[in-house]
Amino acid sequence: MSTGLLLDDVLGTHSNVRVLRTLHRVLPSIALSGRDVGRRSGVSHPSATASLRMLTDVGLVRVRRARRADYYELNRDHLLAADLARLFEREAEYESRRATADEAAQAVERAERIVVWARDALESGRV
C-alpha cells in the first residue's frame, strides 16, 4: 500500500529496511534469489518477496527473471541509493562504536569488582 511518499514506502517496514541492508552489503555484480535475500535478511520468504516487489516497483531494486527464480540486486543508480548506502555505513559505524563502548563498560565493571574484592580482602586481613 503506497502512501504517495517515497521514503515512507521504502523505509516503511522492518522487512524493507532489512532487505535493503542485505542488498547493500552484496557486491554490486551479485544478484540474490528472493529466498537468499530472506535468509540473509532474517525475514520470512513471503515478507522478503513482498518487500522486493515494492522496492522493485519504486526502482530501488532490479530484478532478473530466470527459469527457476527471480534474482535481485540493489539499483545503485537510483536517486536514493547513495544516501541509503551512507545510512547503512553510518549504522555499521554506530554499531561498531557501541560494541566497543559495551566492551569498555564490561572491562570497567570487572575492574570495579576486583577493586572491591581487593579492598574487602585488605580490610578483613586476608591479604
- One domain, residues 28 and 9: yes
- One domain, residues 24 and 84: no
* Tally of domains within the chain: 2
- One domain, residues 89 and 60: no
Q: What is the pTM (predicted TM-score) of this model?
A: 0.73
65-96 pLDDT tens trace:
988 889 999 999 999 999 999 988 998 888 88
**The pLDDT of residue 11 is above 60:** yes
**The pLDDT of residue 1 is above 60:** no
- One domain, residues 15 and 69: yes
What cell numbers appear for 21 in the block? 541492508
What cell numbers appear for 58 in the block? 519504486
- One domain, residues 60 and 42: yes
- What residue ranges in the chain does DSSP mark as E strands? 32-33, 61-65, 70-74
For 104, the domain range is 80-127
What cell numbers appear for 47 in the block? 515478507
- One domain, residues 119 and 98: yes
